[in-house]
Amino acid sequence: MRTQVGILGAGPAGLFLSLLLARRGVESVILEVRSRQAIEQTIRAGVLEQGTADLMRELGVHQRMEKLGEEHEGIEIRFRGRGRRIPLKELTGKSVTLYAQHEVIKDLVAARLQQGGEVIFSVQDVSLEGVDSDRPRILFRREPEGPLEVLECDVIAGCDGFHGPSRRAIPESVRTEYVKTYPMGWLGILTQAPPSSRELIYCNSDRGFALVSTRSPEIQRMYLQVDADDDIRNWSDDRIWEELRLRLATEEGWAPIEGPILQKSIVQMRSFVCSPMQYGRLYLAGDAAHIVPPTGAKGLNLAVSDACVLAEAIARFERHGTDDLLQRYSAICLRRVWKAERFSYFMTQMLHCFPNHSPFEREIQLAELDYVTSSVHGRGTIAENYVGLPIEWDI
Ligand code: FAD
Ligand code: DHB
């Protein structure tokens, strides 16, 4: 089998890339290890930057987002039992859209299949060959005992997430990996209840961080900071609600609206960057190349901006045979990636309780929260980063 671009992974990076390539007349095939049902049901992100929502519209995959998603013009930052609003729209002219990642996935898969695009689900034994030649290949099986098939391509896009094989196809001597781990995880729940708040609440409390988010008028998403090695079995529904009430309490007696908990799980937090994001004819995009802690709501959106740069670079290469933009792919992406890493790190440091913090560091954290939420410049810097920085093509 042969195609122009072999894409590994049908997450946001791989799916947006295939649609952006198709719009530029470039052929691609997506290989995905999980089933269509599995990728369409995994609960993950929920915040789309303005640029991501605009891209959904540009690609004509916005109909369900307009119906089920919700535009948010501000967020609340709560600490010492008081809330301070960051008016995103007023400060930047932009907003974010709350729309679940698995709904985005459904929209993108449906659109790609409708175009006649090839997405092969549930593949096995995936490996990459000849990435440093001009004939890179992906080997895979469609079924456990099936024959080993070869997908030959001009370019491989490694969009296979943090645990996929693409990054490891870049020799260790070529890549540098920057890693930061945090001594905490996030326990996330979905609950059947009306919204507790009109806007997201990022809350710093002495008991740890809490976040109130939403999915629809009937389903809400909330998160609690927990220990990095905590087990979900330690968290009964009653304990989760008790902790959310205590952390989110305000002077006025605010409390979340409770309902049955439909789903709960713990995710780890890390910052990670692989540099460069390319080797030979292999280009990494999204979580395959970088991870951010979720506090800045940037992971999905970074996958989308990588896909935008890669689609344009590949299209120029396929159309005109010029690889100047492909050569600069990693440098262009990393400029934005590091800024998102910085923002996610900053939000994480400012909002969580750190076990090693001294009383001095705790006071510094509270002073920082007070400063950035009360100064117009502080609010501006949070707003500008939260709604999404532009892609800077010149390096
Ligand atoms: P993925 O979504 O991980 O997709 C990679 C795909 O590759 C997967 O489908 C995987 O099955 C497939 N794959 C793996 N191995 C192979 C292989 N060998 N061959 C073929 N395919 C393979 N981000 C935000 O922007 N905003 C948020 O609010 C936010 N909240 C989050 C909350 C949680 C609880 C979590 C866990 C994440 C959150 N994120 C958020 C991060 C966001 O979900 C990820 O950054 C995003 O999914 C990255 O997209 P991706 O396409 O790069 O990778
Ligand atoms: C959600 C996730 C985040 O990481 C975040 O910062 C805000 C909201 C969410 O899943 O709704």
Q: Which of 42, 43, 44, 47 to mutate to test the pocket of ligand 2 (most atoms within 8 A of CB)?
A: 47
Q: Is 294 a catalytic residue?
A: yes
Interatomic CA distance for residues 127 and 108, integer angstroms: 25
Residue 118 has pLDDT above 90, yes or no: yes
Confidence of residue 262 (pLDDT cuts 50, 70, 90): very high
Interatomic CA distance for residues 14 and 183, integer angstroms: 31
pTM of this structure: 0.97
CATH class of 183-269: alpha beta
pLDDT averaged over every residue in the chain: 97
The ligand placed nearest to the CA atom of residue 29 is 1
Confidence of residue 290 (pLDDT cuts 50, 70, 90): very high
Check pocket membership of 221 for ligand 2, CB cut-off 6 A: yes
The ligand placed nearest to the CA atom of residue 15 is 1
Q: Is 298 a catalytic residue?
A: yes
Check pocket membership of 297 for ligand 2, CB cut-off 6 A: yes
Q: Which atom of ligand 1 is nearest to the CA of 188?
A: 34
Q: What is the pLDDT of residue 383?
A: 98
Confidence of residue 135 (pLDDT cuts 50, 70, 90): very high
What is the average pLDDT across 328-348? 98
Q: What is the pLDDT of residue 166?
A: 98
What is the average pLDDT across 89-118? 98
Q: Is 345 a catalytic residue?
A: no
CATH number, domain 5-72+93-178+270-387, options 3.90.550.10, 3.90.1200.10, 3.20.20.60, 3.50.50.60:
3.50.50.60
Q: Is 390 a catalytic residue?
A: no
Q: Is 120 helix (H, G, I), strand (E, B) or coil?
A: strand
Q: Which tens digit of pLDDT belongs to each residue from 313-334?
A: 999 999 999 999 999 999 999 9
CATH 3.50.50.60 residue spans of the chain: 5-72+93-178+270-387
Q: Which tens digit of pLDDT belongs to each residue from 61-85?
A: 999 999 999 999 999 999 999 999 9
Q: What is the pLDDT of residue 395?
A: 83
Q: Which atom of ligand 2 is nearest to the CA of 221?
A: 11
Q: What is the pLDDT of residue 130?
A: 98
What is the average pLDDT across 351-359? 96
Residue 52 has pLDDT above 90, yes or no: yes
CA-to-CA separations, 144 to 9, 123, 140, 356, in angstroms, rounded: 18, 8, 10, 48
Catalytic residue among 99, 182, 202, 279: 202
Q: Is 386 a catalytic residue?
A: yes
Interatomic CA distance for residues 336 and 120, integer angstroms: 31
What is the average pLDDT across 370-395? 97
Residue 301 has pLDDT above 90, yes or no: yes
Binding-site residues, ligand 1, Cβ < 6 A? 8-14, 31-34, 39, 44-47, 101, 126, 159-161, 164-165, 188, 267, 286-287, 294, 297-301, 303
Confidence of residue 190 (pLDDT cuts 50, 70, 90): very high
- ipTM here: 0.95
User: Which residue has tokens 């440091």?
Assistant: 349
CATH 3.30.9.10 residue spans of the chain: 183-269
Residue-by-residue DSSP string for 254-321: --PPP--EEEEEEEEEEEEEEESSEETTEEE-GGGTEE--GGG--HHHHHHHHHHHHHHHHHHHHHH-
Q: Ligand 1 centre and the CA of 313: distance in Å?
A: 23
